[in-house]
Amino acid sequence: MFVAGGDAERFPFHSEVGVVNWEVSTMQVRKQFPFAVFEPTWQQHWIENSTFRAANPGEPGSEKPKYYALDMFPYPSGAGLHVGHPEGWIATDITSRCRRMRGFNVLHPMGWDAFGLPAEQYAVQTGTHPRDTTEKNIATFRRQIQALGFSYDWSREINTTDPAYYKWTQWIFIQLYKKGLAYVSHAPVWYCPALGTVLANEEVLPTLEGPRSERGNHPVERRPLRQWMLKITAYAERLLADLDQLDWPESLKEMQRNWIGRSEGAEVQFKVASSEVAADGSSAGIADTITVFTTRPDTLFGATYMVLSPEHPFVEKITTSEQRDAVQKYKAEVANKSDLERTDLAKSKSGVFTGAYAINPVNSEKIPIWIADYVLMGYGTGAIMAVPAHDERDHEFAIKYNLPIIEVVESLHSAAGLREADSAPFTGEGHAINSGFLDGLPTAEAKAKMIDWLEEKKLGTRRIQYKLRDWLFSRQRYWGEPFPVIWNGDQHDVISENDLPLTLPELTDYQPSPEGNAPLAKAKDWLKLPDGRIRETNTMPQWAGSCWYYLRYCDPKNEHALIDPAVEKYWMGEKGVDLYIGGAEHAVLHLLYARFWHKVLFDIGVVSTSEPFHKLVNQGMILGEDNRKMSKSWGNVINPDDVVTEYGADSLRLFEMFLGPLEQMKPWSTTGIEGVYRFLGRIWRLVMEENQEGEWLFAPAKVTDAAPSLELLRGLHAGIRKVTEDIEKLQFNTAISALMVLVNDLTKEPVRPRAAIETLLLLLAPFAPHMAEELWHQLGHDKTLAYEPWPQADPKYLVQSESEIVFQVNGKVRGHVTVAAGSSKEVIEAAARALPAFAEWTAGKTIRKVIVVPDKLINFVVG
RNA sequence: GCCGGUGUGGUGAAAUGGCAGACACGACAGACUCAAAAUCUGUUAUACGCAAGUAUGUGGGGGUUCAAGUCCCUCCACCGGCACCA
């Protein structure tokens, strides 16, 4: 899922050898601490000792409370990482390391979302099997990620292209199929000739050049093709309602709400009066019924015409002979229009009269039926009742074609009659006028009463409508999960769960056919079963594997089930994933799809919660130093490997977190990273010194076993509290600044108390784990600090014995006065009145009011 | 157009309605050095002032409050999302 946008393949990270020779040699002289030695050493130590292995139920360690910190797993592209990728991963790693020290059993895994188009396109060009490309890229990504010192449990690494993994992706599809949530459709779908595949609505973006593929920005077009659909619309209500219980950014929840697009309203049935009969004045001769959806049933008295989508099946049936040519011509025009033209808001409305009339059920008025492309076949019933007085689109259309406008809602504020006929329509709520039995009712009541009336007369019904469409789930590609489906003529069925996984056949030619046949159709032996039936040749979209990967981490090796129920209860119980951090670009795709699958799995008893991700945070994008999005074309991409070589992984981790609030977009800064690098150097030199040969050695003379001073202890415990609270709130930038304050205090001491240094290292460990481990080791500890108890702030060092009170006159600071902490208002006022500044600023004035905030300030209001 | 977010020094940014600018970057000055780098120390919102100090200052305007970056109204700019969804 998580492709670094559009970047072309390139050879992974060879720093330009030779070009920067001079720089490199001087840089090596300048290294403030030997990170290049101890960082790889500790990374190896953690892996060899399985330091971060999380305990599953039944294993020692599982008696602890669990914490599940999840990263969005990457698509391993050929371009390798850039510094934006690890931002969220660093954040969850800090949280994970801190939680471990606080006694939690932490699940913090990483894996690969490795199906996808780039490897397949590379295969089309070079014939290299996507599996080989994928393996190579994964090796690169793994090496880069491990160089950053993340505390992943690598025994749980997963890969969506592994048959042992996608066996269960296929298994979930079978469950969807059996529940009737997977079906075949022949409706027109978005097809991308350049990519040789169909795309989901969500993967198509409207652009100035017309609709384009989200990936690669290629033109796309509508084609009627046989496709697999998933009935996500069946879950629309639950997907919407359950958002309320999630601790997600409000903006993201709002995006999902808008995407689901729930509207309450009514369906109303209009009888069609044939125009032939109408021509001779008779109102008999009912031909048919057209159903419309409206959110404003209260305006039914104002419906002066009706509009069908040009694709509406009734159009042929109702069009009169006189209008047939015009209607045919208009339909042809619309069909030839690009979707850009059709959805361009700037263009004026167009449409054609069908010659037919409908009867407004509420007043038996005959109203003309038009077709117009501003009514979409894909929403509601593909037909509307037009109320030009109270809808902007209907109003514009009515003005253009000179259709009647009847006002039926009066604004509560403006008097009736002031509105000119061609001014903007009133679309708000008010009370009903010109509406018979609704007159005088406020909009909400009028809606309810009209619906009751329609239901009673069997002319309509209450209806909830969603914008959400079903999920187009098939792709004409090779490098994806094959569908576990077999066709017998027009009949389809799923294969037995016992025959999973259905693996991909080997191919030599990965090119899709121009007419939209999938590459798998070329695997003749695979395609045809002995009994003559054939396999489905489509594959699943890349979203499939990422829909449920967080479950597989819990039980990655289980051959008998997607996840063991006891394991599921332990890791996913109550709140599911405790913390999920990733980019906002997945707001409606991955996060909606995954929620949908999770609810299906909940319904069939595989998982025990209805929502997968309890708390979700979007990290902000890291921009280039020029404040532009990092991209090869701007030449502003920063490669983490270069940063690690120059400053070390700890510096990179610390800097990305120090840059600013996690959620905010922020530019990279090369000088900024030197700041945190120097900070780490200062910590290093608190206990280490360099000898004549340039070797760093532990300096016992710098460390004392004597107790820290009271002042130092106060600073230390204030620091403990601040760092602990800030990590909990994911405010890593201020946590780091608290660490800096602490280090500045310690630097000033000629000899540092060991206890204070050790506390500092424990607080530092989540942020800069390599240095913390190394110095912890230098101080004589022989075990990793990853499970040392997290320092506790002692309240007795947090209370101050004295408070400095701000002295204000009329809200302006005029001095300070120190009193004993907890002093009464009277004591503070007396102390303030004793200040020389008091006489100076209140001389000749009357004191009208005195405001005292204990331990904070005193304000004299004078005049 | 609608929805959401952001706006604070030269820069990245701090700030339960209670001393705006913590912590860093950069800049300037000093120490160390033959010299430089690194390191250490100090200064650094703006204006006036030798200084003590005074005034001004959190996108613009208005309001609530003893007190507003913070709360309310309104406008502007930028970023993200949606966009003929009836």
Residues A229-272: pLDDT tens digits? 999 999 999 999 999 889 999 889 989 999 999 999 999 999 99
Residue A748: its pLDDT value, please? 87
Where does the pLDDT of residue A28 fall: very low under 50, low under 70, confident under 90, or very high at 90 and above? very low
For chain A, what are the domain ranges?
Answer: 32-162+554-654, 170-239+471-543, 262-466, 657-796, 800-862
In whole angstroms, B14 C1' to A739 CA is 14
A391 is near strand B: CB distance < 7 Å: yes
- The yes/no answer on whether domain A800-862 falls in CATH 3.10.20.590 is yes
User: CA of A363 and C1' of B60: distance in angstroms?
Assistant: 53
Band of the pLDDT at A12, cuts 50, 70, 90? Answer: very low
CA proximity to A230, closest of A183, A295, A161: A183
A658 is near strand B: CB distance < 7 Å: yes
Establish whether the CB of A261 is closer than 7 Å to any nucleic acid atom in strand B: yes
Q: Which of A197-201, A348-352, A559-563 has the lowest mean pLDDT?
A: A197-201
Q: Which residue has the tokens 């990728």?
A: A85
**Res. A531: pLDDT tops 50:** yes
Tokens found for residue A644: 């690690």
Q: What is the pLDDT of residue A576?
A: 94
Residues 727-746 of A with CB under 7 A from strand B: 731, 733-734, 736-737, 740-741, 744
Question: Which pLDDT belongs to residue A2?
Answer: 53
pLDDT for res A845: 85
- pLDDT of A488 above 70: yes
**What confidence category does residue A208 fall into, taking pLDDT thresholds of 50, 70 and 90?**
low
When the pLDDT of each residue in chain A is averaged and rounded to a whole number, the result is: 88
CA A593 to chain centre: 11
Task: Compute CA distances A849 → A556, A824, A830, A833, whole Å.
Answer: 69, 17, 15, 14
Q: Which nucleotides of B are covered by protein (CB under 7 A)?
A: 3-5, 11-16, 18-20, 22-26, 37-41, 54-55, 66-68, 79-86
Q: Which two tokens stand for residue A733?
A: 């930038």
DSSP string, A36-82: HHHHHHHHHHHHHTTTTPPPPTTSTTTTSPEEEEEEPPBP--TT---
Whole-number distance in Å between A857 CA and B8 C1': 24
Q: How far is CA A623 from CA A26, A83, A216, A630, A860, in A?
A: 28, 9, 21, 5, 49
Segment A99-126 mean pLDDT = 93
pLDDT bin (cut points 50, 70, 90) of residue A418 is: very low
Nucleotide with C1' nearest the A307 CA: B86
Q: How far is the CA of A345 from the C1' of B1 (A)?
A: 10
* pLDDT over threshold 50, residue A133: yes
Question: Given a cut of 80, is residue A79 above it in pLDDT?
Answer: yes
Q: Would you state the pLDDT for residue A570?
A: 97
- Superfamily, domain A32-162+554-654: HUPs (3.40.50.620)
Q: In the 140-179 stretch of chain A, whose C-beta falls under 7 Å of nucleic acid strand B?
A: none
Phi/psi of residue A717, each to 5°? -75, -30
Q: Work out if A309's Cβ lies within 7 angstroms of strand B.
A: yes
Distance CA A209, CA A424 (A): 30
Which nucleotide lies at the shortest CA–C1' distance from A341? B84
**Contact of A548 with A601, CB cutoff 8 Å:** yes
Residue A664 CA and nucleotide B6 C1' are separated, in Å, by 9
Nucleotide nearest to A682 (CA to C1'): B39
Residues in CB range of A206: below 8 A, 6 or more apart? A212, A339, A340, A343
Query: Over 80: is that where the pLDDT of A23 sits?
Result: no
Task: Tell how many helices (H) and how many strands (E) occur in chain A.
Answer: 28, 36
Q: Assess whether pLDDT exceeds 70 at residue A279.
A: no
Instruction: Please check whether strand B approaches the CB of A380 to within 7 Å.
Output: yes
pLDDT classification of A724: cutoffs 50, 70, 90: very high
Q: Is A368's pLDDT higher than 50?
A: yes
Question: Nearest nt to A841, CA vs C1'?
Answer: B54
**Using the CB atom, is residue A219 less than 7 Å from strand B?**
no
Per-residue confidence band for A423, with pLDDT thresholds at 50, 70 and 90: low
Q: How far is the CA of A807 from the C1' of B71 (A)?
A: 24
Which nucleotide is at minimal CA–C1' distance from A264?
Answer: B86
CATH architecture of A657-796: Orthogonal Bundle (1.10)
Nearest-nucleotide field for A292 (CA, C1'): B86
Q: How many CB atoms are located within 10 Å of the residue A400 CB? A: 12
Whether residue A638 has pLDDT greater than 80: yes
Check pLDDT > 60 for residue A286.
no
* Distance of C1' in B39 from CA in A434, Å: 85
CB A659 within 8 A of CB A622: yes
Choice among A41-50, A334-343, A617-626, A805-814 with the minimum mean pLDDT: A334-343
Judge contact between A479 and A117, C-beta under 8 A: yes
pLDDT range class, residue A274, cuts 50, 70, 90: low
- Strand B close to A338 by CB, under 7 A: no
pLDDT tens for A753-762 read 999 999 999 9
How far apart are alpha carbons A501 and A509 in whole angstroms?
23
Which of the nucleotides lies closest to A744 (Cα–C1')? B23
CA of A821 to C1' of B26 (A): 40
CA–CA–CA angle A695, A699, A643 (5° rounding) = 50
Confidence of residue A341 (pLDDT cuts 50, 70, 90): low
Average the pLDDT over A824-838 and give the result.
Answer: 90
Is the CB of residue A295 inside 7 Å of nucleic acid strand B? yes
Residue A320 has pLDDT above 80, yes or no: yes
What does the pLDDT read at residue A226? 87
Pseudo-torsion of CA A136, A139, A142, A146, nearest 10°? Answer: -140
Nucleotide nearest A676, from its CA to each C1' = B24
Q: Is the CB of A676 under 7 A from strand B?
A: yes
Nearest nucleotide to A738 (CA to C1') is B23
At residue A247, the pLDDT reads 92
Q: Cβ contacts of residue A410 below 8 Å, gap of 6+? A: A416, A430, A431, A432, A433
Q: Report the nucleotide nearest the CA of residue A397, measured to C1'.
A: B84
**Can you give the distance from the CA of residue A193 to the C1' of nucleotide B42 in angstroms?**
67
Give the helix, strand, coil percentages of chain A, each rounded to 5.
40, 20, 40
Fold classification of A262-466 (topology level): Isoleucyl-tRNA Synthetase; domain 2 (3.90.740)
With CA of A677 and C1' of each nucleotide, the nearest comes out as B24
- What pLDDT is recorded for position A687? 92
Q: Is the pLDDT of residue A545 over 50?
A: yes
Lowest mean pLDDT among A226-240, A527-541, A797-811: A797-811
List the A851 CA – B67 C1' distance (angstroms): 10
The answer for residues whose C-beta is within 8 angstroms of residue A333's C-beta and 6 or more apart is: none
Nucleic acid strand B within 7 Å of A631 CB: no
Per-residue model confidence (pLDDT) at position A169: 98
